[in-house]
């Protein structure tokens, strides 16, 4: 897969251009599936899922002008014949993964069988927002600096963890000082990114696309 791991979605022209570059064609000619599952683990998660799907969330994904857009609800997949959803995933151009609880999202990516497909989806563009980005790292860290445990393990498709929403005005625990504690809680490299920043991964090459600010904590 080609990855565009964002903190706040496709929020500026640079991230928008990076998405088009990964797709290899205009968004208006591309198909996408949205995964809102991570939102359900929070109070009012059903409303959050609707905002993501309807393009009313603060993290632009669905409202970008896709040729077609479908909903892939991970919690439903174990009860559905694989022939009814796997071909759809194989044929789509982009997988849009909304924010919420990364641990809950990781569980359902595994439980649904979607995670097992990732290694074969070479041409798919994966666009993550917040938890949708965190889930691809080795671990999700702790703002209080508490060491990670097996319960914090994510999918490990990339070898770095992310600290999203850096210095967000409505999230006082997302300061640079908190990012440093987060980075200290994991044993891998960490990127702290604000909502104007994305990390692009293509064929193992990692680069940062940003109109905001970010920091890379190495190990």
How would residue 90 be classed by pLDDT, with cut points 50, 70 and 90?
Answer: very high
pLDDT-wise least confident of 140-154, 155-169, 200-214? 140-154
How would residue 88 be classed by pLDDT, with cut points 50, 70 and 90?
Answer: very high
**Mind listing the pLDDT tens digit for each residue in 93-113?**
999 999 999 999 999 999 999
How would residue 182 be classed by pLDDT, with cut points 50, 70 and 90?
Answer: confident
Per-residue DSSP letters for the chain?
-EEEEESSSS-SHHHHHHHHHHHTS-GGG-EEEEE-GGGGGSTTHHHHHHHHHHT-SSS-SGGG--SEEEE--GGGGGGS-GGGTHHHHHH-SEEEE--S-HHHHHHHHHHHSHHHHGGG-TTPEEEEETHHHHTTSSB---TT-PPP-GGGB---SSSEEEE-STT-TT-GGGSHHHHHHHHHTSSSEEEEE-TTEEEEEETTEEEEEESS-EEEE--
Structural fold of domain 2-217: Rossmann fold (3.40.50)
Q: Which pLDDT value is given to residue 150?
A: 76
Quote the mean pLDDT of the chain. 95
User: In this prediction, what percent of the chain has a pLDDT beyond 70?
Assistant: 100
**Mind listing the pLDDT tens digit for each residue in 48-81?**
999 999 999 999 999 999 999 999 999 999 999 9
Q: Long-range CB contacts (< 8 A, 24+ apart) of 38-43? A: 38/97, 38/98, 38/99, 38/100, 38/101, 38/102, 38/104, 38/105, 38/131, 38/132, 38/135, 39/98, 39/99, 39/100, 40/75, 40/100, 40/104, 41/100, 41/101, 41/103, 41/104, 41/105, 42/100, 42/101
Q: Which pLDDT value is given to residue 144?
A: 75
Q: Which pLDDT value is given to residue 141?
A: 80
Q: Which pLDDT value is given to residue 29?
A: 98
Please give the model's pTM, rounded to 2 decimal places. Answer: 0.96
Domain residue spans of the chain: 2-217
Q: Which pLDDT value is given to residue 219?
A: 75
């Amino acid at each position: 897969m080609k990855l565009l791991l964002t903190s706040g979605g496709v929020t500026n022209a640079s991230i928008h251009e990076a998405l088009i570059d990964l797709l290899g064609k205009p968004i208006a000619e591309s198909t996408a599936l949205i995964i809102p599952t991570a939102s359900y683990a929070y109070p009012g998660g059903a409303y959050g899922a609707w905002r993501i799907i309807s393009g009313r969330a603060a993290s632009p994904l669905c409202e970008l002008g896709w040729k077609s857009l479908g909903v892939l609800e991970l919690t439903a997949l174990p009860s559905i014949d694989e022939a009814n959803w796997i071909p759809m995933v194989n044929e789509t151009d982009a997988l849009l993964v909304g924010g919420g609880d990364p641990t809950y999202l990781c569980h359902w990516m595994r439980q649904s069988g979607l995670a097992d497909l990732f290694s074969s989806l070479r041409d798919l563009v994966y666009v993550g927002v917040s938890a949708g980005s965190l889930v691809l790292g080795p671990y999700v860290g702790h703002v209080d600096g508490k060491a990670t445990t097996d319960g914090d393990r994510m999918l490990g498709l990339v070898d770095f963890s992310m600290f999203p929403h850096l210095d967000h005005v409505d999230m006082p625990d997302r300061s640079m000082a908190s990012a440093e504690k987060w980075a200290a809680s994991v044993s891998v490299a960490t990127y702290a990114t604000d909502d104007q920043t994305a990390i692009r991964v293509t064929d193992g090459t990692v680069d940062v696309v940003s109109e905001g600010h970010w920091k890379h904590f190495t190990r």
